[in-house]
C-alpha cells in the first residue's frame, strides 16, 4: 500500500499539475483541510530540486491566502462553520482561555504555531474569531509560513539525495512517523492551549 502511494506522490510531484496540487493543499490546509502541504512539497522538491524556491513560494503564498479564508471563517462564519471546526478540533471548552492568551501573546502565537505541526487552520480561525489585526495577521503569516516552507526547501535542496534514498527505502515508516507528529501536534494544541 505504501509503495503504491509513494509512487503516486512521486508521479504527481513530477507532473505539470504538481504546482497546482501544492497550492491547493497549502491553501486548504490553512483554512479547513487536515493534511499539511509538506506531503506534496517534499517529493516535489526531491523530484525537481532546481524548482525548490518556486515551490516554497507557491506553498507560502497559497498558505497565506488560505489563512485569510480561515480568518474570514473565524470572523464571519464562526456561528456556523467556524464553531463546527473549533468543536471538531476540540477547542470549544478552551475558547475563553484562548481569548485571554491571544490578547497577550497573539503575535508570538501566530509565529510559533505557523512553524509547528499544530494545524495552522486553528491559528487562522482563532485570529479571525478574536478579531486580531488583519494586516498584522497577514504579515506574521507570511513570515512564519515562509520560514517553514523555505527552510524545508533549503534542507531538501541541500540534502535531497540522501533524503530521497531514505524515503525510497522507508517511505511507510516515514509516513507513519509524520502522521504521528501531526497527531501529537493536535494533542499538544488541545491539551495545552
Unique residue bearing C-alpha cell 493534511: 35
Q: Helices (DSSP H) in 30-133: which residue ranges? A: 38-47, 52-76, 83-88, 95-113, 120-129
Q: Please give the pLDDT value at position 137.
A: 96
Confidence of residue 183 (pLDDT cuts 50, 70, 90): low
Residue 7 has pLDDT above 60, yes or no: yes
Q: What is the mean pLDDT of residues 48-55?
A: 90
> Which has the higher per-residue pLDDT, 5 or 69?
69
Is the backbone of residue 15 left (phi > 0), alpha (psi -120 to 50) or beta? Answer: beta
Q: What would the grid cell of residue 151 be?
A: 527552510
Is there a contact between 27 and 65 (Cβ–Cβ < 8 Å)? yes
Q: What would the grid cell of residue 28 be?
A: 486548504
Give the tens place of pLDDT for each residue, 76-94.
Answer: 987 887 777 667 767 777 7
pTM of the model: 0.78
> Which has the higher per-residue pLDDT, 132 or 177?
132
Between 95-113 and 134-192, two packed helices, what is the crossing angle to 10 degrees?
A: 110
Confidence of residue 133 (pLDDT cuts 50, 70, 90): very high
Residue 27 has pLDDT above 70, yes or no: yes
d(Cα 155, Cα 140) in Å, to the nearest integer? 22
Residue 152 has pLDDT above 80, yes or no: yes
Q: Please give the pLDDT value at position 5.
A: 62
Most confident of 10-14, 58-62, 119-123, 130-134: 58-62
Between 2-13 and 134-192, two packed helices, what is the crossing angle to 10 degrees?
A: 170
Amino acid at each position: 500500500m505504501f509503495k503504491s502511494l509513494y509512487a503516486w506522490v512521486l508521479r504527481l510531484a513530477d507532473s505539470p499539475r504538481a504546482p497546482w496540487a501544492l497550492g491547493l493543499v497549502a491553501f486548504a490546509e490553512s483554512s479547513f483541510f487536515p493534511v499539511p502541504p509538506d506531503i506534496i512539497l517534499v517529493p516535489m522538491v526531491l523530484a525537481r530540486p532546481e524548482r525548490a524556491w518556486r515551490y516554497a513560494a507557491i506553498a507560502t503564498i497559497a498558505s497565506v491566502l488560505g489563512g485569510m479564508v480561515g480568518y474570514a471563517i473565524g470572523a464571519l462564519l464562526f456561528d456556523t462553520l467556524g464553531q463546527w471546526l473549533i468543536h471538531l478540533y476540540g477547542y470549544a471548552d478552551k475558547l475563553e482561555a484562548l481569548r485571554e492568551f491571544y490578547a497577550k501573546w497573539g503575535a508570538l502565537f501566530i509565529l510559533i504555531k505557523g512553524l509547528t505541526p499544530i494545524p495552522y487552520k486553528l491559528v487562522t480561525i482563532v485570529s479571525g474569531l478574536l478579531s486580531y489585526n488583519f494586516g498584522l495577521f497577514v504579515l506574521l503569516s507570511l513570515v512564519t509560513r515562509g520560514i517553514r516552507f523555505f527552510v524545508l526547501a533549503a534542507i531538501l535542496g541541500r540534502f535531497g539525495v540522501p533524503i530521497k534514498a531514505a524515503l525510497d527505502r522507508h517511505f511507510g515508516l516515514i509516513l507513519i512517523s509524520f502522521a504521528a507528529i501531526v497527531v501529537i501536534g493536535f494533542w499538544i494544541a488541545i491539551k495545552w492551549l
